[in-house]
Each structure stands twice: as C-alpha cells, then as structure tokens.
Structure 1
Amino acid sequence: MQDKLTLMIPGPTPVPETVLRAIGRHPIGHRSGEFQAIVRRTTDQLKWLHQTNGDVLVITGSGTAAMEAGIINTLSRGDKVLCGDNGKFGERWVKVAQAFGLDVEVIKAEWGQPLDPDAFRTALEADSAKAIKAVILTHSETSTGVINDLKTISSHVKAHGTALTLADCVTSLGATDVPMDAWGIDVIASGSQKGYMMPPGLSFVAISDRAWQAYERSDLPKFYLDLGPYRKTAAKDSNPFTPSVNLYFGLEAALEMMQAEGLEAIFTRHARHRAAAQAAMKAIGMPLFAAEGYGSPAITAVAPDGIDAEQLRKAVKTKFDILLAGGQDHLKGKVFRIGHLGFVCDRDVITAVAAIEATLQSLGLHRGTMGSGVAAATAALA
C-alpha cells in the first residue's frame, strides 16, 4: 500500500499533522514583524526545552552544522581537547576537531559500551597546566543505542575550571532530561528531525556565558556558522541570513505540542518506549547491543545472533512498510535499530515489535514463542 511508511528510525522521525499543516502555510517575509514575533516566541520555547536562561540560536542546517558551530566558535587552532569516541558520531567529532587543527586526545570505549566518566576525570585532574580547553562528546550515541553519562562527565569538566563541555544532544534533547544550566553544559547542539518532531533543516545551538567568553578568544575560521551575528540578530528577533521560514512555522507548532505535554511526561514516554523495545527483543531471544543500563531513550540497537540484520530489516520494510535503521560501518548486517524518538506512541512500538516477530516467523528465524515480544512490550508499557 502506497503512502503508508512508518518511520521507526532515529531520524527523520514521524511528523505530526499539526506540524505538517503549519509548514504548508504560504511563506512570509523573514524581515517582517509577523516573522519576528514567531522568532521571539520560539526563542522562549527553545529556552524552556533546553532548561536554560542563556542563548539558544537557530541555524538553517543539520545537527552537524550545530556541532561544528559549537566547536569553531569556542576554540582556537592548537587548543587541546578531549573527545569522547564510542560510536559513529563520536568519531565524527574527532574528525571535525582535527580538521580545524585542534590537539585532540581521544577517550575511547568500544561500540556498544558507554564512555567512562572516570577516564575524563583522570585526564582533567592530571591537567595542572589547564591546557585542556574543551571536552567534546555525544550524549546519545545514535549508531549504537548507548546513552553516555553526560551529567557526571560535565561535573568533572566544571571541576577542572577552564575546559568547556560541548555536547551533541541531537538524539537526546526532547527525549531525556538535559538541564543545561543545572548541569553546567556550555554548548548543546541538536537538530529538528529528531525529538523536535519536524523534518530536517533546522539546527539549534545553546550557548553558555562561559562559551561566549571563549568566543571572544576563538580564532578558527567561520562565516555562515559564526554565532556572533546570530546572537546579535536574535536579540532583535531576527536572523543574519535567510532562514527556513516554513520550518519556523513547524517549529512553533511542534514546541507548542511539547509544552502541552510537559517535559516530565515527554521524558517518561521515551523511557517507557525504551523499556518496551528492550523487553520485547529480550523476550524473543534478540540480544541488545548497548551495555545493560545504558540504552538510549531514543533508539534500541539489537544484535540478532546468527541472523542477518539487513535481511530482517529489509523484510520488515517489504512486508509491513516499517522502516528500521541498520547498523553503521562494521556493524552493517550485524545490528538493526528500533527508533522510538519524537512523535512516537505506544501503538507504534507495539506495531514495530509485532512486525519484527511476524517477519522472523515468516523467515523461519523466530526462536521463542510467537507473540512473546508483543506480550513483553505490552507489559512494559503497562
């Protein structure tokens, strides 16, 4: 059946009809008073979502643009940074930092394992010269379904006194608690196609006062991603360049929906869906890839022993028009990932689990009792 695709991937995520209708409005002038009013309202909403009194700036670009902006606006060539790497996106930030001439010390963990906060603490405490200028890490590592302990790592950075915390919260913001001011995070990057329940195209950079002080010293090249002009124009409810006007319409609608639900309810919903997905996969004998206790609330990675994960994923797509995410790099064919991020409800999770079970049955690969996954998911949701 055409036009029935269900997205159960970590992005893009499903978009509510309310948001789609808002995006479908006729554009307005981006220098008009009407648009400035939208910028003003969404700025306040973004501060609410980030739990910050600081600046939250909007860039027409991807989450990678937001993360690169955070790096190039707070650091200078040759600065020493610690970069956490336990997945595809941790690897990406290492490459970005190296591309801009930073002195990168990598703190690694195996894919599927969380970053060790004590490794950061040890490195920071040994830095008596205060040479480390930033710690860069991914909160929810989308490639592996692992959530890192950002709160503890950020506390070690604060104790250092000089370094900044730059966090990729692309698949954690809007899915789990990330209180920027309370945790002392200096830069948070996120993207519209994740917990914001929107199509791709907008990215968001939240900046602390300490990060703005670092901005004054930064000498890395920047133009479109220079956050100074964004801050200056945001104070006037505007943007330094032509923004995606229609995505702003959607942003306001999405944030209104999120405010109506409330932060605690949003976080609880994502935690329930994580619990349901995990319980279901365990019930049908499908091992989880992320270390126990470190599963992301946005996505559950599954490592089906002895089963071609790509074959299973493609069969689910063909039979049920449900799109699951595959494994990346060396995990291709070994892992599939169930997204439960953003505009996802209990029905979506149960449907995805049932489709996986039915596909395993049709392929002769179901190793448990048929329906055990759905039963486990239902029990977890209850």
Structure 2
Amino acid sequence: MQDKLTLMIPGPTPVPETVLKAFGRHPIGHRSGEFQQIVRRTTEKLKWLHQTSSDVLVITGSGTAAMEAGIINTLCRGDRVLCGNNGKFGERWVKLARAYGLEVEEVTAEWGQPLDPDAFRRALEADADRSIRAVILTHSETSTGVINDLEAIAAHVRAHGTALLIVDCVTSLGACNVPMDDWGLDVVGSGSQKGYMMPPGLSFVAMSERAWQAYDRSDLPRFYLDLGPYRKTAAKDSNPFTPAVNLYFALDEALTLMQQEGLEAIFDRHARHRAAAEAGMKAIGLPLFAAEGHGSPAITAVAPDGIDAEAVRKAVKQHYDILLAGGQDQLKGKVFRIGHLGFVCDRDVLTAVAAIEATLRRMGRIDAAPGAGVAAAAAVLGG
C-alpha cells in the first residue's frame, strides 16, 4: 500500500492535519495588516515556548541558519570560545566557529557520552583574564541520542560572568524543558521541522539582553542573517525580508496546539516516549548507544551489536513503511535512531517497536520471546 509512510526520524517530523491545512492556505501579503497580526501572535507564543521575555526572531532558513546567526551576531574575529563536541552537531559548531576565524577550544566526549559539566567549569575557572567570550554547545545531540546537562553547564557559564552561552536546541526545544531566562541562556537556536510539528523552512533565534550587548561589539560579516533588522522589524510585527508566509500560517496553528497541550504535558509525553522506546529495545536485546541515563527525549539511538543497522532500517521501511534514521559518519551501519519528537503519540512508539521486533524476527536475529519489546514499551506507556 502506498502513501502510508510513518516518519520516526528526528526531522522532518510528522505534521498535524490542522497544521497542514493552515500551511495550504492561499498566501497573503507579507506587509498586510492581516499578516502583522499573525506575526504578533506567533511572537508571543514563541516567547511562551522559550520561557523568555527576550526577543525570539524568525528566519526563513534551516536550524543551521540559526546556529550561524548566533555566532555572527555576538562574536568578533579572533574571539576565544569553548565548543562542546560529542557528536555530529557539536562538530558542526566547531567548523562553523572556525569558519569565522574564532579561536576554538574544544570540550569533547566520546560519541554516545554526555559532555562533562565539570570540564566546562575547570576551563572557565582557569580563565583568569576572562578572555573566553562564549561557550557553544548542542543540547540534544541528534546524531547520538544524547542529552547534555545544559542546566549545569549554564550555571558554570553564569559564574564566569563574561562568556555568553550559545546553544543549539534544535531537537530539545519543544521536547524537554529549556527555560531560557531561568537558566541564563543567551542565544537559543531551533528549527521548525522538529518539536514545532511543522514542515522544514523556519529557524528561530532567541537573544538575551547580554547577547544584544555583544551584538554591538560584534564585527563578523553578516547581511541576511543580521539580527538587528529582524529585531527592529519584529517590534513592528514585520520582517526585514520576504518571509515564508505559509510557514507562518503553520507556525501559528502549531504553537496553538502546543499551548493547548501545555508545556509540562509536552515534556512528560516526550519523556514517556523515550522511556518506552528504550524499554522496548532493551527487552528485545538491542543495546542503546547513548550512555545510561543520558538518552534524549527526542530520539533513541540503538546499536544492534553484530547486526547491520542499515539492513534493519531498510527492512523496516520495506515491510512496514516506517522510516527510521541511520547512523552518521563513523556510526553508519552501526546504529539506527528512533525519532519520537513533535507530533508523536503512544501508538506511534508502540508501532515502531513492534516493527523493529518483527523485522529482527524475520531476519532471524532475535532471541527474545515474541512480543517482549511491545510488552515492555506498553508497560511504560500504561504505567
């Protein structure tokens, strides 16, 4: 049967019917009063989601645009920065920072392990002349299924007093608690195709007052991603360039759905789905890749020892029309990843676990009793 594809990847994620209908509306003028009302509504809702009173700006672009904007609007060529690197997107931060001539010092951990907050503390405490201008990291490392302890790292950055905290929250915002103001985060980047339950195409950059002070001294080249004009026009419920009008329609509806569910309920749902996916995989004898207790609420990475992970993905797609994510770089063929963020319900997680279990049985690569994975996941979801 065609057209039954179920996305269980960390982006793009499934999109609710009402969001798709909103997206499919006829475009309107982006300088019209009607569109200004949408910008005003979505701005307030974005602040609610970020738990901030600071600016949250919308860019037509991917999550990487938000990451780049965070750097070029707050730093100067030659600035010393600490970059957390424990996966593909930590590596991207390092490459991006070096591309703009920043002096990068890496705080690393093996892929599958979380970043050590004490490593940041030691580096920051050793910075007697306060020359470190920023700490940059990924909250939920999508490539490995690891969640980093952003709250603890943020506390060390605040104690430093000078460094900004710039964070990729692309797969954590809308999946777990990211209270920007309470934790003292300065720049938070995210993308529409993740927890926002929307198609790809919008990125979001939240900027603290400290970040805006850094903007005034920043000398890195920028034009389309210069956040100054975005802030100026946002105050007038507008945009400096032609925005993705239909994606704003979708954003308005998606954020309304999120507000109806409520932040705590959203966070609880994602935590429950993480626990169910992890329990299901363990019950059928598949090891998890992320260190115990550090799995992301957005995605579960599975390392099927002695089994080609790509063969599992291909078979699940072929027989059940469920798309799982593969491993990246050195993890290709060694892990597959189950996305469970955004518009995902208990049924979706149960179905994915059942399909993986049935696939392994079809391949003759499972010793667990029939239904063991589904029973373990169901016990979590029904608990």
Task: Decide: shared fold, TM above 0.5.
Answer: yes
- Cα distance, 1:259 vs structure 2: 0.1
Please tell me whether residue 103 in structure 1 is matched to residue 96 in structure 2.
Answer: no
* Rounded Cα–Cα distance in structure 1 between residues aligned with 2:367 and 2:221: 55
Partners of 1:71 and 1:56 lie apart in 2 by 16
Q: What is the alpha-carbon distance in structure 2 between the residues aligned to residue 67 and residue 327 of structure 1?
A: 22
Q: What are the within-5 Å matches in structure 2 for residues 61-100 of structure 1?
A: 61-100=61-100
Aligned residue runs from structure 1 range 1-382, under 5 A? 1-382=1-382
Q: How far, CA to CA, are the matches of 1:367 and 1:281 in structure 2?
A: 13
Moved over 2 A (4+): none
Instruction: Give how far 1:367 is off.
Output: 2.0
SS of structure 2 residue aligned to 1:11: coil
Deviation at 1:123, TM superposition (A): 0.2
Q: Deviations over 1:78-108 (max 9, x none)?
A: 0000000000000000000000000000010
After TM superposition, the score normalised by the length of structure 1 is 1.00
- CA shift for structure 1 position 366: 1.4
Q: Deviations over 1:178-212 (max 9, x none)?
A: 00000000000000000000000000000000000
> Deviations 1:319-364 (Å, cap 9, x if unpaired)?
0000000000000000000000000000000000000011111111
Deviations 1:274-325 (A, max 9, x none): 0000000000000000000100000000000110000000000000000000
The amino acid across from 2:5 in the alignment is L
SS at 2:194 equivalent: coil
CA distance in 2, matches of 1:240, 1:293: 43
Secondary structure of the residue aligned to 2:205 is strand
Q: Report the Cα distance in structure 1 between the residues aligned to 2:76 and 2:150, rounded to whole angstroms.
A: 24
Question: SS at 2:289's partner residue?
Answer: coil
**5+ long unaligned stretches in structure 1:** none
In 2, distance between residues paired with 1:154 and 1:306?
39
What does the per-residue CA deviation read over 1:159-178, in whole Å, with 9 as the maximum and x for residues that have no partner?
A: 00000000000000000000
Which 5+ residue runs of structure 2 have no aligned equivalent? none
| SS in structure 1 at match of 2:374 | helix
- Residue identity over aligned pairs, in percent, reads 81
Deviation of 1:370 (Å): 1.4
Counterpart code for 1:109? A
Q: C-alpha separation between the residues in 1 aligned to 2:362 and 2:197?
A: 33
TM-score, scaled to structure 2: 1.00
Aligned letter for 1:263? L
Structure 2: which amino acid aligns with 1:314? K
Q: Which amino acid aligns with 2:361?
A: Q
Letter paired with 2:244: S
SS in 1 for 2:107: strand
Mapped to 2, the partners of 1:270 and 1:43 lie a distance apart of 24
